[in-house]
Amino acid sequence: MSNLINITFYNNLLNSYIMKKLILGLLVIGLTSQVFSQVINLPEIEIAAVNYKYLNAVASEGVDIDVKLLEEKVALFDIKSSDFYVDDYTTYQVRFYIPNGTILAAYDKNGKITRTIEKFTDVKLPMDVRDAVFARFPGWTLKRDVYRVTYNQEKSRKIYKIVLLKEKKILRVKVDDKGYFLKEVFL
């Protein structure tokens, strides 16, 4: 009986030794296979930010996300790869649309934006503009707004035309993107 217990004990010990070696061997094989993974050489690409000056000039804090996205699309548009590009022309005018706005952009033959005219209706007002308007005209409600941007060679002008309503009174206000009042007209 004691021989049977000894054989069983050594048999279990041998099985655990073999299992440890097997697991350790599989672990080593698994880790070393990572060493021989493929290395793929990708071709070099050149990234050129042609219209970063446009994006810097029209950027405003708190501007509506739809406006930002369309302005980025205008800046990233590659005029040279478009179907209508011909090297003979010096300027190209391209119109970009979203449901509540449009941008008319003029590009030179190198793809640089020379000027834009932008108009967006009923956009979310930036916090500075909203705070300035409702601090100056408490009790008034926003009826509609128009956001206009004009860009010309690194300079831009950003204006919000806002229509306010209180009872039967209507007030038109022009405010820049920082919240400074440019004009007020009671109707």
Question: Using an 8 Å Cβ cutoff, are 129 and 179 in contact?
Answer: yes
Same domain, 76 and 14: no
Same domain, 31 and 105: no
46 part of a folded domain: no
Long-range contacts of 112-116 (CB under 8 A, 24+ apart): 112/50, 112/51, 113/51, 113/54, 113/74, 113/75, 113/151, 114/152, 114/153, 115/150, 115/151, 115/152, 115/153, 116/54, 116/58, 116/74, 116/149, 116/150, 116/151
Low-confidence ranges of the chain (pLDDT < 70): 1-17, 22, 30-39, 45-49, 187
47 part of a folded domain: no
Task: Please state, as a whole number, how many other Cβ atoms lie within 10 Å of the Cβ of residue 57.
Answer: 19
Give the structural domain span for 2. Answer: 1-41
Residue 83 is predicted with a pLDDT of: 79
Residue 36 is predicted with a pLDDT of: 58
Same domain, 26 and 77: no
Total domain count, the chain: 2
Same domain, 144 and 83: yes
Rg (Cα) of the chain, in Å, rounded? 33
Same domain, 116 and 178: yes
Task: Please state, as a whole number, how many other Cβ atoms lie within 10 Å of the Cβ of residue 161.
Answer: 17
96 part of a folded domain: yes
Same domain, 28 and 75: no
**Which amino acid appears at position 11 of this protein?**
N
Residue 158 is predicted with a pLDDT of: 94
Residue 21 is predicted with a pLDDT of: 76
84 part of a folded domain: yes
- Bridge pairing between strands 113-121 and 181-186: unpaired
Same domain, 77 and 164: yes
**Which amino acid appears at position 103 of this protein?**
I
CA distance 114 to 93: 10
Same domain, 68 and 134: yes
Residue 171 is predicted with a pLDDT of: 92
182 part of a folded domain: yes
Per-residue pLDDT tens for 105-124? 999 888 899 999 999 999 99
Residue 85 is predicted with a pLDDT of: 72
